[in-house]
């Protein structure tokens, strides 16, 4: 059990946005019982992406990742609920959409496109510390 009400940063990445999957992702979040408390469509800028993905700097997929994430509009959401950080990661499924379990967002809706970066539809914060940091980057006013 998680005592604290948690918040997580969810992004419907540019591939998911282009494919018209924003509604489907938000539907799954709401159907699970989490609340959407912030919502915005915007094209991520490289400067904030560098902060957001700082842990991946230097990895072979880092440049392709920043390029991909800044390639067009994405939907940013802050969701709320007990256990929503791990809960959304479970809804999202494994990073590699080929391995993501059917039933998960990436397993049901994603696939490998043979690119240098996995275009896997969604981002979700991986810990309370990451969530606070990421929400501060994308929703500094919240």
Q: Is the CB of 29 or the CB of 65 nearer to Mg ion?
A: 65
Q: Which is nearer to ligand IDP, 26 or 100 (CB)?
A: 100
Site for ligand IDP in 86-115 (CB under 6 A): 95
Q: Which strand (E) or helix (H) includes residue 57?
A: none
- Dist. CA 110–CA 140, nearest whole Å: 30
Under a CB-based contact definition with an 8 Å cutoff, are residues 8 and 79 in contact? yes
Segment interacting with Mg ion (CB under 5 A) among 11-19, 78-86, 109-117, 118-126: 118-126
Which residues does the annotation mark as catalytic? 123
Q: In angstroms, what CA-CA distances link 135 with 52, 60, 104?
A: 10, 26, 23
- Inter-axis angle of helices 84-92 and 22-32, to 10 degrees? 130
What is the x/- site pattern for ligand IDP, positions 38-77, by CB under 6 A?
------------------x----x---x------------
Structural contact between residues 38 and 141, judged by C-beta atoms closer than 8 angstroms: no
**Cβ at position 58, least distance to ligand IDP in Å:** 13
The token pair at 111 is 């696939």
Residue number of the CB atom closest to ligand IDP: 95
Q: Which is nearer to ligand IDP, 8 or 118 (CB)?
A: 118
Interacting residue ranges for ligand IDP, rule: CB under 6 A = 56, 61, 65, 95, 117-118, 120, 123, 126
């Amino acid at each position: 059990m998680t005592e604290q009400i948690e918040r997580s940063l969810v992004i419907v990445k540019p591939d998911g946005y282009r494919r018209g999957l924003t509604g489907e992702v938000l539907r799954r979040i709401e159907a699970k019982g989490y609340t959407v408390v912030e919502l915005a469509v915007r094209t991520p800028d490289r400067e904030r992406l560098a902060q957001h993905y700082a842990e991946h700097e230097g990895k072979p997929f880092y440049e392709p990742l920043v390029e991909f994430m800044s390639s067009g509009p994405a939907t940013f959401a802050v969701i709320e609920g007990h256990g929503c950080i791990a809960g959304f990661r479970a809804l999202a499924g494994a990073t590699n959409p080929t391995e993501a379990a059917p039933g998960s967002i990436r397993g049901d809706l994603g696939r490998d496109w043979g690119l240098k970066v996995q275009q896997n539809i969604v981002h979700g914060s991986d810990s309370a510390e990451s969530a606070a940091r990421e929400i501060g980057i994308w929703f500094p006013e919240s």
